[in-house]
Structure 1
């Protein structure tokens, strides 16, 4: 308690007022756009708890605000469905996948998703679920490591993550696309308010008698956002910064997770191979763009320098 009180005393009135007003504004705006959810209260509580607990936690959450902003933008996509702005691509993407990556099986040409759906293995069901659960803990755990190891790399990693997501969101609204499981359950007709679906990940839940993926996909912002696969983008960013920071054998783990997520995205019918390839491309473009912008553009470079000083 004494440490917390001391930490609060070191804050100026402007910081306290800013955080308080931002918290209230976020809750009000969220209520207006997407309705009240307990997740919103939890996010506000977590941010404020870290901000006021101590100097080091305040620096941590100030840096992690980049991810918090990404999460808020992602959540607000529910209020502005991409299918309201452009037609959803269903049959065209499916046929393109089949023509490029089609697999002949029992005298039929199948997409890789359809092939694996007919030839699934319990081992792959379990491993795919494990790999798909890694998309949050691995990047976030790596970010925590970078915060204590190298604050500059910590910010660079999170800003690259944020930039890649923005690029992905632009494509979501430019090219709304249905995932493979949608075709399997609904065919090629567009159904506006289709709820999220676990795809083949239901087999992981069934094997362990849990509702992990059922819970996750019930909260999805938009099912027509399969292209690009940002799940496939994230491990590319992690591996890039892992190599950049010379993590040695840890990068083998990052590489394994990356390949596992790529395969799982297709195996579980959440993405086509085309989605995965475009997700990888989005990550590469985002990494290159970040490096160019924050080294060549003076005001962005100065922004990064000041941000780093703020959390040191």
Structure 2
């Protein structure tokens, strides 16, 4: 046992507890009666990799920011009912703000316009960034881990910071998405089921239930602002701005533009949600860049 303790301290130093955080989370879920198999798998996997060797310890340190996001997201369902209450949710107020800033006609927002003017080809086109955003972020993080590890630390910690800021805004200013106003009007119903909105047309067209199943697990219907969908490509753009040339910057810019337009076209977000999401991403990258040295020191300790 003493030998194992020396091994752990040799790997992690004073940060020896990091691989045990998912285990603590699993214990909390067990105490609350909501333990699931994936909690056990993640706890065992992270502890095993974290204490196995230096290469696996480096991998755990690299993915730790994303792991924190996952654990925080899992805890959101317990916190949300305390903050997201009918009297605090911005419903038609969001639509009024959108009309005042980005009206495209009399009493017509961009989501209203696309609700009336859409086609299967555009449904499929804009479903692509929505279907792939998680995988694109993971692949990009893996690419940075191999090619530019320091920028990878900035990207991953910015990813985490962006989510934590977003979660805080969700609680401080819960906001209804366009599809909710279209379905329920200005009445705020905390029991309303989440919806894939216009992505249901894609499910129906393809004869699948992917988007319906994915969005049915959303713990907070009233988390429209900021749009973290739009924040994801913005994180890549801002963290790569100085390193990328004009051969790769258009890819980042195009991905960001596609995601913003998709978020509005698919009835998931107001345009203001996307703008706030981009701003949050910029703040997160700025904070992570300033803290990159301690992050790198923890990862390489």
Global fold match (TM > 0.5): yes
- How far, CA to CA, are the matches of 1:176 and 1:26 in structure 2? 26
Query: 1:251 offset after TM fit, Å?
Result: 3.4
Which residue of 291, 295, 299 maps to 1:294?
291
Q: Which residue of 2 aligns with 1:197?
A: 195
Q: Which residue of 1 aligns with 2:67?
A: 68
Query: 1:287 offset after TM fit, Å?
Result: 2.3
Q: Which residue of 2 aligns with 1:24?
A: 23
Aligned 1:91-170 pairs, distance under 5 A: 91-104=92-105, 109-170=107-168
Query: 1:130 offset after TM fit, Å?
Result: 0.6
- How far, CA to CA, are the matches of 2:188 and 2:126 in structure 1? 28
Distance 1:61 1:271, change over 3 A: same
- How far, CA to CA, are the matches of 2:190 and 2:202 in structure 1? 28
Distance 1:206 1:286, change over 3 A: same
8 A Cα contact 1:229 1:276, kept in partner: yes
The alignment status of 1:183 with 2:181, answered yes or no, reads: yes
Distance 1:76 1:34, change over 3 A: farther
Runs (4+) off by over 6 Å: none
Query: 1:254 offset after TM fit, Å?
Result: 2.5
- How far, CA to CA, are the matches of 1:86 and 1:68 in structure 2? 33
Q: Which residue of 1 aligns with 2:240?
A: 242
Q: Which residue of 2 aligns with 1:12?
A: 7
Distance 1:23 1:165, change over 3 A: closer
| Structure 1 SS opposite 2:222 | coil
Task: Give the superposed CA RMSD.
Answer: 2.8
Distance 1:43 1:93, change over 3 A: same
| Structure 1 SS opposite 2:107 | strand
Which residue of 295, 298, 301 maps to 1:304?
295
Q: Which residue of 2 aligns with 1:4?
A: none
5+ residue gaps, structure 2? none
Query: 1:242 offset after TM fit, Å?
Result: 2.9
Query: 1:265 offset after TM fit, Å?
Result: 0.5
Query: 1:305 offset after TM fit, Å?
Result: 4.0
8 A Cα contact 2:239 2:285, kept in partner: no
8 A Cα contact 2:236 2:252, kept in partner: yes
5+ residue gaps, structure 1? 1-8, 296-300
- How far, CA to CA, are the matches of 2:87 and 2:288 in structure 1? 28
Q: TM-score, normalised by structure 2?
A: 0.87
8 A Cα contact 2:19 2:50, kept in partner: no
